[in-house]
Structure 1
């Protein structure tokens, strides 16, 4: 048979109507409201919870059939009701239903887990290409070995905090309407969220009652070949320790610094190489120092013309593939051609050079009288635009009257 705890809290029978329940709640709310009766805050929370359950048809049906545990364990209502009792109680009181009515806790969920600790580790492109082992020194909190995490001397135990009744939080309730309350949770300032206090004389001398001490630990961070920028390396359970809480992880995040020569794109490497006009026309052999200190000689055969912006690739000279270090991507090169300066050779050399190069386009003077030869000059549109000067001149004329404005004769 299901219990009558919620009905007893409101002082109504199990077959009470919604109207009877509402009247009972209003009467009790006036009596136990925190504004009028500050010491009855817990009682007000209990009757508010009872009112919410008994005025909701689905929740009341589950409660009538299975009691508090039915709400807490889902009451056979499927996934939508799973964990209902525990979740709604946590919303109002920050605890389990058993803590309020003395009926035992709900489903066990295992230990709480601490926060992860994140450390950035700067690496070069060479480190990611060749692999590297770095040592990371970190300071972490560990459970005090002297007191075993109790915070007190041998044989002493902390007492529940009176300020929060051992919850670690304080809950402030404000009624905003009939059957409607607004709650705000804050960490208990007395116990700092621990839910318990240790007297000054009984505190552990090693940790001063803090339950943990500080420890310096060295972690070896293995950067494997082919790892990427922003990739994470996780050390399970190496985070800060607290009694009763599963330690979080230490997460190392790789941060690659820019490289002067190479840019990485997945498994491929890219670089820009400047060559002379002679090399672009007649071929070349150019040594390039790779990321593993090898010297790779790139070659272009005579007669293979590399135009400005040309792109070429070298298969298998890119980046190692993570966990498959003997497989590599490709190396791609973009060529920039460095042309010689004006008048780089004596005048007689140009006809000889022209005889070696492909023929220039034939020129035939256009017919007619209106044909004029002009010479090319170096030109910067931002500073030498004639149209810009003309517009400035027109504006100046308008400002000062211009030639179209004449003075009136007296």
Structure 2
């Protein structure tokens, strides 16, 4: 991602673009092949992981959205784009920045390098550096994200046949300017897309090409994550092809809910199971059968002490971690306890439970002739505060209320 401008202007290679406008490339012994490594703060011997780690750290630190220096951020991105590509890195190590556009040992101007990165060179900012990406949704099940999967998908794109030529109608600008007289002495200038090249600045022949891509869904991938095929989008003249991105779309699962690397299932227990123990079988995402069983004496409560749902966890039975599938998250079980309905328990069962369960209600002494006995009815907490006399106005409103009784005056003659 770039924000315009020249991210290489401090990399020490401008001498080849001096007043002559297109000087030959310097000898390999005099070119700078270390500046990109210094920008990322790594040694020339750094491997791919070290370069990626250094880039991520610097990109977060210097991102303009977080108050970082925009120019330095552009240099960091430009350096990483080259050093993360083995082919480009090899050319840079041997020929410097100017060797990236040409083959080994070739010669040419630094304008070619900037044309590759910015779609027109350091002195020409028209047009994108790289073509637009194409995004395709890829719907996958939670089982696929747990076990991994390879999907073969056919894509169709436009490719350029032969060489492209600069459009003579717009001189490669992509737009033409027309002057239109709208009144005496008044001329209107109109800029519109060049009809000969369609605004691309170059003309070429194209054909449709069909290709089958093997899309690897890795274990532990997340929803909306991208699987990128670089340079597989439509080809356009003088522009690097964009990428084809497959966007992972996780399907909803009937049993499991996912958050990060953890999984969640819900289980309703009877009061008997909650107090006396339970066991039930689930089929995991890799078709393993797992028996979830309570320990002797373990009690499942209707809710936790902080009034939140009561939850237990099976350690290590969650989703595999992306990049290291041997490290897994946890499987959380959210419990609800189903109590018996009114009338489900017989008198003899109630008496038996009173003897078995701790905390039985103590009998109270009272005079049934003087004490009032109240039984409970079903209620809704939403109605709390709505009881009593209605708030409708009556003939007995107080005089100090607005709009109260009218004053009566006596006329004396």
TM-score range, shorter chain: 0.5 to 0.7
Deviation of 1:333 after TM superposition, in Å, equals 0.8
Instruction: Output the aligned Cα RMSD.
Output: 3.8
In 2: Cα distance, 1:276 partner to 1:234 partner = 49
Give SS of 1:377's match: coil
1:199-218 pair list within 5 angstroms: 211-218=205-212
2:390 aligns to what? 391
Structure index of larger Rg: 1
2:265 is the alignment partner of 1:268: no
Q: 1:159/1:141 Cα in 2 relative to 1: closer, same or farther (>3 Å)?
A: closer
Corresponding residue for residue 249 of structure 1? 243
Q: CA deviation at 1:216?
A: 2.2
Q: Deviations over 1:61-117 (max 9, x none)?
A: xxxxx9797xxxxxxxxx99xxxxxxxxxxxxxxxxxxxxxxxx9843133322211
Structure with the bigger percentage of helix: 1
CA distance in 2, matches of 1:124, 1:228: 11
Return the match for 1:193 from 180, 196, 199.
Answer: 199
Where does structure 1 lack aligned partners over 5 or more consecutive residues?
1-65, 70-78, 81-104, 151-156, 175-181, 198-209
Query: 1:284 touches 1:302 (CA, 8 Å); kept in 2?
Result: no
With 377-386 and 361-370 compared, the bigger mean Cα shift is at: 361-370
Alignment pair present for 1:121 and 2:120: no
Of residues 233, 236, 249 in structure 2, which corresponds to 1:239?
233
| Contact kept? 2:171, 2:201, Cα under 8 Å | yes
Task: Please tell me whether the aligned partners of residues 211 and 243 of structure 1 are also in contact (alpha carbons under 8 angstroms).
Answer: no
Q: Return the TM-score normalized by structure 2.
A: 0.57
Structure 2 match to 1:355: 355
| Distance in 2 of aligned mates of 1:168 and 1:158 | 10
**Hey, what's the Cα distance between the residues in 2 that align with 1:305 and 1:159?**
80
| Counterpart mapping for 1:4-403 below 5 A | 107-108=111-112, 109-111=114-116, 112=119, 113-144=130-161, 148-150=162-164, 160-161=168-169, 164-171=170-177, 186-195=192-201, 211-308=205-302, 309-365=309-365, 371-380=371-380, 387=387, 390-391=389-390, 394-395=392-393
Aligned residues: 273
1:319 shift after superposition = 0.9
- Contact 1:306 1:335 (C-alpha < 8 Å) held by counterparts: yes
Asked if 1 retains the 8 angstrom alpha-carbon contact of 2:202 and 2:238, the reply is no
TM-superposed CA distance for 1:375, in Å, is 0.6
How far apart in 2 are the matches of 1:301 and 1:294? Answer: 21
Contact 2:167–2:196 (Cα < 8 Å) also in 1: no
Deviation at 1:220, TM superposition (A): 1.2
Q: CA distance change for structure 1 residues 370 and 119 in 2, over 3 Å: closer, same or farther?
A: same
Provide the secondary structure at the position in 2 that maps to 1:348: helix
- Is the Cα contact below 8 Å between 1:233 and 1:253 reproduced in 2? yes
The TM-score with structure 1 as length reference comes to: 0.58
Tell me how far 1:265 sits from its aligned partner: 2.0
Q: 1:229 touches 1:254 (CA, 8 Å); kept in 2?
A: yes
**Residue pair 2:202, 2:237 contacting (<8 A) in 1 also:** no
For residues 173 and 106 of structure 1, the distance between their equivalents in structure 2, rounded to whole angstroms, comes to: 36
For the 8 Å contact 1:128–1:227, the answer to whether it is kept is: yes
Contact in 2 for aligned 1:284/1:300 (Cα 8 Å)? yes
1:153 is aligned to none
Q: Does structure 1 conserve the Cα–Cα contact (< 8 Å) formed by 2:281 and 2:290?
A: yes
Point out where structure 2 has 5 or more consecutive residues left out of the alignment: 1-17, 22-69, 72-108, 120-129, 181-187, 303-308, 398-403, 409-413
8 Å contact 1:273–1:333 — kept in the other structure? Answer: yes
CA distance in 2, matches of 1:397, 1:257: 63
